Copies of this chain bind each other. A is one copy, B any other.
Amino acid sequence: MSKFSEWFHNILEEAEIIDTRYPVKGMHVWLPQGFKLRKHTLEIIGKVLDRDHEEVQFPLLIPEDELAKEGIHVKGFEDEVYWVTHGGLTKLNKKLALRPTSETAMYPLFNLWVRSHSDLPMKFYQTVNTFRYETRHTRPLIRVREITTFTEAHTVHADKGDAEKQVREAVKLYKSIFDSLAVPYVITTRPDWDKFPGADYTVAFDTLLPDGKTLQIGTVHNLGQTFARTFEITYETESGDHQYAYQTCYGLSDRVIASVIGVHGDETGLCLPPAVAPIQVVIVPVIFKEGKEEVLEFCRKTQETLQDGGLRVHLDDRDIRAGKKYYEWEMRGVPIRIEIGPRDIENGTFVVVPRNTKKKEFLDYDLEKIMATVQEKLDDISKEMLEKSWQTMKENINTVEGVDEAMAKLNKDKGIISFSWCGDTSCGKDLEEKLRVDLLGVQEDLEEEAECVNCSAPAKHIALLARTY
C-alpha cells in the first residue's frame, strides 16, 4: 500500500470511524461505528488489566505546582501542556493543566494511600482523555491533541526487584492484548534520549504500518524511585523503618485502534479481527420474487441463534442490490458474511465469505450446529489474521552489516532495520541523523563479538531502527 496515509484518512471517513471535521485541530469525533470498535478494544484491555489491577478515575485538571514538582518530568511536557487560566470571567489563583499523563495527578494521593509494606504492591489503572499541544502535523488516532482513550496503569512496589518484575509482567499483559488484536510488534528498550521523562528506562511496543513506518503502540516505564522521592511516597517496612517505594507505569492509547485499522486493512477497506468488530457476522438474504418471506424467516432464525450464542450479528434486509451490500460490509471489515438464498434452503447449505480471504465457502446448514460452525470460522479468521500480520512484520525486518546497506534497505524496502550497536548515545544520534530515522531501541544483549555498524566500536546490543510515526 503505497499511499497508506491517504487510505487511512479515507477509510476512517468511509467506514464512519471518526469525523475529522470538528473545528479544533487534532481533536476528532468518535462516530457510532468507531465508538463500538473502541469499546470492544477497551473491553479486551480491561479484561487483561482487571485480573490484578483496580480501576480508578482521577480528575483531569492538575494544579500547576503539582505538575512542576518533578523537574525532569515537567521539562518533558511543559511545551505541550494546555493551561486553564480562567473560571468564568475570574482569573484562577493557580493555573490548572489538562493532564498530559497522570503521574502528577495520582502521586499526591499515592502519598496518602501508601502506608505500610502490607499495602504493597498497589496496581491501578484508568482510561481517560489526555491532552498534548502538538505542534507537528496531526493525524486522527495517531497524533492528536486530545488523546481520547488513554489507558494508563500505575503500580507501587516495596522493592526494586518487584518493580522490575512488574515491568516484565506488564510486557506480558500487553503481548496478550496485542495478540488478541492480531497486531504484531517489536519490543525494545528505548534509548536513554527517548525514554519517558522521569523514568529509569522505557520498554516500548512498535508495530509496522503498510507504508513501512513503525508506530509506537504501547510503553512500559520503570520509574525507579524518582517520583516516590518527589511526592514522598514512603512505606513502613516490617522492621519499622520508612523507605521510598518503587514505581512503574504503562500506557496504551488511541494508537492501539489505529494499529488494528492500519495493520489489517487492504484495498477493499477495513478488515477487523473478530474480537473487536462492531458486527462480527452479517447475514445477507439472497432474495428473488418468489419465496422471499421464507428466506427472510430463515435468516432471522439464523441471526437469533447466533446472537443467543453471544455473537454480534446484523441482518441486512434492505431492498438494495446484493452487490452493494457486499461492497459495504467488506469495506466496513465485517469478519464473516453469510449468504442464504432459496436454493440454499432447498439444499440444506449456506454460503460463508470470510473477509480476510474473500473466498466463498459452501457449508452444510444445521441450525443446531450453526453457532459452533460460525464460531470455528471466526476462530480460524483470528488465527489467520494473526499469522499473516506477523509474517508481514517479520518479512520487513532486515538485518544489515553496515550503514550504507541500512540506507539502501530503507530506501528500497522500508521497514525495520536490525543491527549491531555499541550502545553509545552520540553514535546512536549520529546514526539517526545520517539515516533520518529513529533508533527504536535495543532488543537484546549480544553474546558473540561484533562491531557497531556505525562506529565500529565493539557492539553490545542488537538494536532496531526505522522511520517512525
Contact = CB atoms under 8 A, between A and B. Distances in A.
B98 A84 contact: yes
A379 to B, nearest CB: 23
Interface string A382-405: 000000000000000000000000
Given A23-B108, A58-B29, A88 B81 contact: yes
Interface string A59-80: 1110100100000000000111
A326 interface: no
Interface stretch (A49-57, A156-164, A269-277): A49-57
Nearest to A26: B59
A145 to B, nearest CB: 8
A432 interface: no
A57 B24 contact: no
Nearest to A62: B24
Interface string A138-153: 0000000010100000
Nearest to A134: B87
Contact of A58 (B22, B59, B105, B109): B22
A38 to B, nearest CB: 8
Interface string A195-221: 000000000000000000000000000
B21 A63 contact: no
A243 interface: no
Given A56-B29, A109-B22, A88 B79 contact: yes
A4 interface: no
A96 interface: yes
A24 B79 contact: no
B58 A32 contact: no
B31 A63 contact: no
Number of copies of chain A assembled together: 2
Interface string A18-40: 01011110011111100110110
Contact of A66 (B23, B85, B89): B23
B81 A84 contact: no
B63 A24 contact: yes
Contacts of A61: 24, 27, 82, 146
Nearest to A59: B27
Interface in A107-158: 108-109, 112, 124, 129, 131, 133, 146, 148
Contacts of A108: 22-23
A29 B86 contact: no
A56 B22 CA distance: 13
A85 B83 contact: yes
A83 B86 contact: yes
22 contacts: A23-B63, A23-B108, A24-B61, A28-B59, A29-B109, A30-B56, A30-B57, A35-B54, A35-B55, A35-B56, A35-B57, A36-B55, A38-B57, A60-B60, A60-B146, A78-B89, A79-B88, A83-B84, A83-B87, A84-B84, A90-B133, A129-B129
